[in-house]
Structures are given as structure tokens and as C-alpha cells.
Amino acid sequence: METKANTILENRPELEKRVGEAAEVAGYLWQKGWAERNGGNITLNITDLVDAEIRAKPAISAPVPIGRVLPHLKGGYFFCKGTNLRMRDLARYPMENGSVIRVLDDCASYVIIADKPVRPTSEIASHLSIHNYLIGKGSNYKAVLHTHPTDLVAMTHNPAFLKKDVLSYLLWSMIPETRAFCPRGLGIVPYALPGSFELADATIEELAEYDVVMWEKHGVTSVSENIMEAFDMVDTLSKSAQIYLTAKSMGFEPQGMTVEQMDEMKIAFNLPK
């Protein structure tokens, strides 16, 4: 393990815990086979854990333009996975494979403040636009996860699965747990260039209705209060995808729970959709 001396995490147990959760999830992503090379990214809104000493920390990078104005991010602080860096490395050394940024008062640029000048993920347009959207609507969600689950991404190569809520119902119907723990279902964003604002905006549109969104032929993005919950929703959906694929590979179409059985769960567990 890296030593805690000279890191922003030193003597800040809450911050250490939150970044530690991101590192734990990064390890799961690698173990799951969802994080080839530098695949995937994590950002955490840590503004609530920032003290005066952190606020006074000098920048260790020049200001970097975000490319748009994000008014709700003024003075916000985010832990971000570094671009081109590996989840399996972030799992062990989070502050060498990720960094903390401060959004400047122009709401259109950021500086890196700790620990090292690690450039944030190439999907920063989506991540920061999503955080801006979440703060703007008064959400308590602080974690954004993007990852590349093989089974779910494979499903987006079938145009029939890209129609609204086809995948939500199919995956819900594989196992009651998915209906319960991913109760809003799965939104779909048509293919767009990785790292683009087009991808960011299409994702935000879907987040009005869903907490988990598929990026066609690329990956999945989820939002939640914390990174564990964001991971668990994707993990549950992937479990359903595995059951579907296993049944298909045994040579039959899985029957799935009936609409009545799923509606019964909606009532019994007071699910939102």
C-alpha cells in the first residue's frame, strides 16, 4: 500500500474512507473483467468533506478548460480516476492513479490540487456534466461510475434491445433481485463519441428517468449516493444478463418472470416504477 504521509487523505478518515471505497470498487471492476487496460472511470463529489486547509491548497496544475459552463460546480471538489490509467492500479494506489480537482469560480475550468498532477479521465465532460445536473436538482448522489461489462455491452449490439425499456423488462424478468435493486431500469444512449458533450447530454437526458444508462456499443454509466451502490446496480443487471445468456447457450429462450409477478414486486416493495 502507498504510505498515507503527504497525501490529502492523511488525518481525514472520512475522505480516506470515501476514496477507499472507490479503490475497492476499482478492484471489483478489474476482477469482473469489465476494466480492460484503462477501461472505465469513477468520479466522486467530495465537496462535503473538504475543510479550510484543502480549500487553501495551491493548484498543482494550470487551469484546464472544461469546455462548457457548469454553474452548480462552483468551488466543488471531485476525486477523479486519471485518464489512461488502470482500475487495477487505482485499486491499490488510488492517489497515484486518480487526483482531486477543484472547479474554479468561472465554473468552466478546474485545477488539480492533490496528490499528484494526474490528468482526470477523458470522460470528464460526462462526469462533470452529470455532477452538475445532480447538484442542480438537489440530489444527494455523489458517485458516477462508468465501466465496460461484457454481457451488457454485447446486448447493445442487438438493435431490438435498444428500444425503450426492452432491456429493462428483459433483465428485470430474469431474477427478482434486479427488479428490486435496479428499480428504475436501464436507459439507453445511442452511440456517441467517447468523451464528447453529445454523449454527456444524451446521458443526462436519460438520468431524468434512470439511475443506470447503457452507452451503445461502449459501456454503462450509473449514478448513486455512493460508489458501492452505483456498482451494485450494474452488478445486478450483469447477473441478469448472465442468466439470460446462460439459458440461451443451453439452447432455449428463458421464460422470464411474468409481468404480473414483476408488478406484484412493485407493490410489495413500493418500487418507484
Q: Choosing from 123, 206, 209, 229, which is the catalytic residue? A: 123
Q: Report the residue number, 176 or 194, with the smaller CB distance to ligand 13P.
A: 194
Closest residue to bound Zn ion by CB:
219
Rounded (10°) angle between helices 13-32 and 227-249 = 10
Quote the least distance from Cβ 122 to ligand 13P, whole Å: 3
Q: Which of the choices Zn ion, ligand 13P, none does residue 256 contact, using the CB cut-off of 5 to 8 A by kind?
A: none
CB of 190 to Zn ion, least distance (A): 15
**Nearest-angstrom CA–CA distance, 265 and 262:** 5
CB of 258 to Zn ion, least distance (A): 35
Q: Is 205 a catalytic residue?
A: no
Residue 149 interacting with Zn ion (CB under 5 A): no
Of 84, 100, 76, 74, the C-alpha closest to 22 is: 100
For residue 64, the number of C-alpha atoms closer than 13 Å in the C-beta half-sphere is 20
| 187 interacts with, out of ligand 13P, Zn ion, none, CB within 5 to 8 A per kind | none
Q: How far is the CB of 152 from ligand 13P (least distance, A)?
A: 14
Q: Which does 117 bind (CB under 5 to 8 A by kind): ligand 13P, Zn ion, none?
A: none
* CB of 72 vs Zn ion, minimal distance in Å: 24
Q: By CB under 6 A, name the binding residues for ligand 13P.
A: 38-41, 81, 83-84, 121-123, 146, 194
Find all residues with CB under 8 Å of 68, minimum gap 6, and list them: 108, 125, 129, 197
* Cβ distance to ligand 13P smaller for residue 46 or 243: 46
Residue 67: burial class (beta carbons within 10 Å; 0-12, 13-18, 19+)? middle
Residue 221, CA distances (Å) to 75, 145, 156 in order: 25, 6, 14
Query: 214 near 241, Cβ under 8 Å?
Result: no
Partner in contact with 83, chosen from ligand 13P, Zn ion, none, beta carbon below 5 to 8 Å by kind: ligand 13P
Rounded to 5°, the CA angle 76-81-87 comes to 155
43 neighbors 144 (Cβ within 8 angstroms): yes
122 contacts which partner out of ligand 13P, Zn ion, none, CB within 5 to 8 A by kind?
ligand 13P
**Residue 126: phi, psi to the nearest 5?**
-65, -50
Each residue 191-220 as x (binds Zn ion by CB under 5 A) or -, in order, gives ----------------------------x-
* Residues recognised as catalytic: 123
Would you tell me which residues interact with Zn ion (CB under 5 A)? 219
